[in-house]
Chain A
Amino acid sequence: MQVILSGILLGGIYALMAMGLSLTLGVMRIVNLAHGVFYTLGSFILYSFMVQAKLNPFLSLLLIFIIVFFAGMICERILLRPIRDSHMNVMIVTFALAIFAEQCIHLSWGVLYRSAPPFLKGELQIARILLDNQRLLSFAIGMALILLLVFVLKKTTLGKATRMVQQDPEMAMLLGINVDLISMVVFAVGAALAATAGCLLAPLYLIFPAMGWTPLLVSFAIVILGGMGSITGTVVGGFLFGLTSLLTTYFISSAMINVVPFLAIIVTLLIRPSGFFGKEIF
């Protein structure tokens, strides 16, 4: 029971991470392999803010969201816009960006394994289940962000324009929607969501420069499992994943965590390539 609950709490944050990837995939139709490195960046900046600058955790979270948002905008403008039409080049460039950023992080923070202090100390006990407050808080923030994102997508003008671009970029352009601007914002939001997920998980796991690849693959697995561009699919996939990965850790070994997303990808592709809630977009 303890494991299942922790799995669900973790799943919420995975869903947040995958949501960013799902947005860039669905709206811009690009495969962003640098998604994981924004996660790493979020964790490391949080570490610096909280341990070295001794800032309030919630203030740091907000600052990181803004910093990475602008970093994402710059990356999109400089690196991706000129080559957005070629899938292959986009993948290679984002891959190179991931390696580049990883090396930068490596050079500026070093190889040491670190961990960030929790935002909230203490534990919560309900009957015989023991949960630390940090997990609950991370989950709550993650869920709030997902709800906020859904609200923005469904109700605001910006969100409607984004969904228009997702359905048909050319038609959107004809209707006077600034597709370039939307793409830039979407990429930046994706990056910022990954960084936030990184912040939320930083107090729970170890921080090191190459940590971003597993969450990247997990997000891909979630997006493929749930169906590309589907919000429901992504959230459901996230919970499913949090659960399976904790169950694997609990029953087999933590080294096997990488194996699960991969198996999920292969099985999903064999059974239903468009995922469980999605439609084909490529």
Chain B
Amino acid sequence: MVKKGSSRDEGKATKQVILFLVMVGLAGIFPQMYPDEFLLHVIVVANLLAIFAISWDFVAGFMGQVNFGQAMFYGAGAYFIGFITKAYQIPAGLGLIAGGFVAVLLSLAVGIPCLRLRGPYYSIATLGFCQVLFTLSMALTEWTGSEEGIRGIPKFITSVEGNYYFSFFLLMFLLVALKLLFRTPFGIQLISIREDERLSEAAGINTNLYKIIGSAVSAFIAGVAGAYSCYFHSHVSPDTLSIGLTFSAIAAVVFGGMGTIWGAFVGAYVLTFLNEYLYFMMEYRLLIYPLAIMLILLFSPGGLLAFFKELGKVFEHGNATSAEPHKEL
């Protein structure tokens, strides 16, 4: 039984690795084939949203804790870069990592009081905290520039093509890292908390500690994404702390399917491209996302990928990744 399972897994793993390598290869030669600056720009935006959405999915889909203020981590990273580059010259790599750690500090501040409780407290507190930061970013005009934000942040990669490669590198690094993480005991224990918190506590897992660490990891990812977005747009505004941004991450994840890292990735691409190419619909396109989320959760809670899989097994190897491990526990 065990052997059979593992050999089947190996086959699947090889398939995934091949698919992954093909994707990386395609991504690598893409700018040579279509050197269209606008398209590349859109892809960088999609990659950023994908990273951010994955960070949300890490807590919601794998630990079962819904964070309605994920944007605060993104915004914290972005504003950190905005503040620090005004005063000091720091290397960009250090800036990205420091932005991530600022977000981690925030996540500890919210997580330690709220995550030890069962119930919706974490969701409410994150929503509240994010609103607080949003208000502050609007109110403290001298430091944050209010609605205008902070402009003129030096880019560390000037060409769009360079940004394209860098954002892809970040995203791929994240995908591989998470893939490996969910093979370690730590990752499996995280998933056990989502499946049954009381039971995993009874099995001797310190669920509070795991939830806090998990939310810190998620915050780190979002913080790095925020810091990078600040370098990329060379601008940071209160939008990076808004409910709308959190909502776009949730929309991407629900679109693609919760608890599957690939889902967030696919969802982010679909949303970003819809957003760019549905411009003719003007403001009405903003109605599409919430409507789509409600419809998906009502009729196909597994997300679009699961829906297509049921439909014709078109996306078979795409979806069969991360939804699996918890079934084998």
Q: CB distance B128 to A217 under 8 Å?
A: yes
Interfacial chain B residues near A92, Cβ < 8 Å: 66, 250, 254, 293, 297
B182 interfacial contact with A, CB 8 Å:
no
A260–chain B nearest beta-carbon distance, Å:
9
Chain A: CB-nearest residue to B287: A103
Interface string of B111-153 (1 = CB under 8 A from A): 0011001111101110111011011101100000000000000
Dominant SS at the B interface? Answer: helix
A83 to B295, CA, bound (A): 12
Interfacial chain B residues near A265, Cβ < 8 Å: 121, 124-125, 128
Q: CB distance B121 to A273 under 8 Å?
A: yes
Q: CB distance B286 to A95 under 8 Å?
A: no
Q: CB distance A99 to B66 under 8 Å?
A: no
A105–chain B nearest beta-carbon distance, Å:
11
Q: How large is the interface on B (under 10, 10 to 19, 20 to 34, 35 or more residues)?
A: 35 or more
Interfacial chain B residues near A281, Cβ < 8 Å: 119
A17 interfacial contact with B, CB 8 Å:
no
Q: CB distance B120 to A87 under 8 Å?
A: yes
State which residues 69-84 of A face B: CB under 8 Å. Answer: 79, 82-83
Chain A: CB-nearest residue to B299: A82
Chain A: CB-nearest residue to B244: A99
Q: CB distance A93 to B293 under 8 Å?
A: yes
Interfacial chain A residues near B76, Cβ < 8 Å: none
Q: CB distance A258 to B135 under 8 Å?
A: yes
B94 interfacial contact with A, CB 8 Å:
no
Q: CB distance B131 to A100 under 8 Å?
A: no
State which residues 153-201 of B face A: CB under 8 Å. Answer: none
Chain A: CB-nearest residue to B246: A95
Contact of B125 among A89, A262, A282 (CB under 8 A): A262
Please judge, given known A-B contacts A220-B124, A224-B121, A282-B120, whether A262 and B129 are in contact too, CB under 8 Å: yes
Please judge, given known A-B contacts A89-B301, A104-B287, whether A269 and B135 are in contact too, CB under 8 Å: no
Chain B: CB-nearest residue to A228: B119
A265 to B294, CA, bound (A): 29
State which residues 209-261 of A face B: CB under 8 Å. Answer: 213-214, 217, 220-221, 224, 253, 255-259, 261
Q: CB distance A89 to B121 under 8 Å?
A: no
Interface string of A75-117 (1 = CB under 8 A from B): 0000100110001110111011101100110110000000000
Q: CB distance B131 to A83 under 8 Å?
A: no
A104 to B290, CA, bound (A): 11
Interfacial chain B residues near A269, Cβ < 8 Å: 113-114, 117, 121, 125
Please judge, given known A-B contacts A33-B68, A88-B64, whether A95 and B128 are in contact too, CB under 8 Å: no
A97 to B294, CA, bound (A): 8
Q: CB distance B135 to A255 under 8 Å?
A: yes
A-B contact list, 14 entries, CB within 8 Å: A87-B120, A88-B66, A89-B301, A93-B297, A96-B289, A99-B247, A103-B286, A107-B283, A220-B128, A257-B135, A258-B134, A259-B132, A259-B136, A269-B117
Q: A82-B298, A92-B254, A92-B297 are in contact. List 11 more A-B contacts (CB 8 A).
A: A31-B120, A88-B66, A89-B297, A91-B120, A93-B297, A213-B131, A217-B124, A255-B135, A265-B128, A273-B121, A282-B119
Q: Which residues of A contact B (CB under 8 A)?
A: 31, 33, 79, 82-83, 87-89, 91-93, 95-97, 99-100, 103-104, 106-107, 213-214, 217, 220-221, 224, 253, 255-259, 261-262, 265-266, 269-270, 273, 280-282
Q: Which 8 residue pairs of A and B lie closest in terms of their CB atoms, listed nearest first?
A: A282-B119, A100-B290, A255-B139, A262-B128, A96-B290, A96-B293, A31-B120, A258-B135
